[in-house]
């Protein structure tokens, strides 16, 4: 087994937990799940997306699905689903932070929260644009910048 490419889409409601779990395992999720998605491409984001290669050791823990598009109807059909191992992830979250007194879990959460985040996630080997299209999601676009006002409309300060 080697690293595999994944497109990973999570709900906005699960973003804080999933980022914390990624940080616990990988140590730097700052770049993960920062791109917001929504049905109309407008804020607020309802989902977040990250893409990249998942290291071999983590593949068994994360959920993933495979999809195929029916050429006749255009409908997407799930052909494979692996629920991941939320139990293993939750157990890792409950390990105490070193030197914390009293002991504090690395990621405070319940098993039900991890299971729910896994169930609501969409993790595939699909191209991110294909996965977003299948889910009817677009990248959230920033608000347009206001048109700047003229700095010196009457030319009172020729240095401008």
- The domain locations on the chain are 4-139
Full-model pTM: 0.85
Distance from the first to the final alpha carbon of the chain: 63
pLDDT digits (tens, 9 = 90+) for 52-80: 998 877 888 999 999 999 999 999 999 99
Residue 24 and residue 89: Cα distance in Å, rounded? 10
Q: How many CB atoms lie within 10 A of CB 91?
A: 12
User: Residue 3 to residues 20, 52, 123: CA-CA distances in angstroms?
Assistant: 21, 10, 15
pLDDT digits (tens, 9 = 90+) for 1-15: 689 999 999 999 999
């Amino acid at each position: 087994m080697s690293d595999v490419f994944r497109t990973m889409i999570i709900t906005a409601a699960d973003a804080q937990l999933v980022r914390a779990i990624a940080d616990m395992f990988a140590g730097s999720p700052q770049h993960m799940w920062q791109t917001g998605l929504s049905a109309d491409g407008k804020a607020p984001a309802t989902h977040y997306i990250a893409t990249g290669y998942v290291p071999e050791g983590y593949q068994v823990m994360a959920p993933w699905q495979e999809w195929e598009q029916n050429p006749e109807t255009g409908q997407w059909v799930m052909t494979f689903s692996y629920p991941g191992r939320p139990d293993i992830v939750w157990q890792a979250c409950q390990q105490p932070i070193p030197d914390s007194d009293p002991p504090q879990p690395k990621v405070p959460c319940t098993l039900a929260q991890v299971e729910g985040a896994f169930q609501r996630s969409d993790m595939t080997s699909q191209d991110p644009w294909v996965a977003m299209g299948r889910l009817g999601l677009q990248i959230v676009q920033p608000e347009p910048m206001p048109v700047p006002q003229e700095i010196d409309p009457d030319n009172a300060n020729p240095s401008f």
